[in-house]
């Protein structure tokens, strides 16, 4: 239905299951230099969701769905995913 290979569907299935685990939020926060970007994901213009991706220079990454792209929502996403300390 999605038009992806079996291998990609298997990978996506495992990533979704991992994201739904109860201790998923227990992961260490990102430290040091963190780069971020946002995009909109969805089938139609009116149903697209805002998604923020944060990537640490060492390779760790976090992706978060937010309700809308505002300073308040982006700040909350940063607070949840990024540590205040420098590495």
User: pLDDT tens-digit profile of 20-49?
Assistant: 766 665 678 888 889 999 999 888 888 888
Residues of the chain above pLDDT 70, percent: 89
CA-to-CA distance for 70 and 62, rounded, in angstroms?
Answer: 18
- Contact yes or no for 54/82 (Cβ under 8 A): yes
Q: What is the pLDDT of residue 13?
A: 85
Among candidate residues 18, 38, 87, 25, the one with its CA nearest the CA of residue 58: 87
Strand, helix or coil for residue 67: coil
3-state secondary structure of 48: coil
């Amino acid at each position: 239905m999605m038009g992806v290979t079996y291998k990609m569907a298997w990978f996506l299935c495992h990533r979704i299951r991992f994201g739904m685990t109860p201790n998923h939020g227990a992961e260490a926060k990102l430290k040091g230099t963190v780069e971020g970007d946002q995009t909109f994901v969805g089938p139609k213009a009116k149903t697209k969701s805002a998604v923020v991706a944060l990537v640490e220079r060492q390779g760790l990454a976090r992706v978060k769905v937010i309700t809308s792209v505002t300073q308040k929502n982006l700040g909350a996403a940063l607070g949840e995913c990024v540590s205040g300390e420098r590495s």
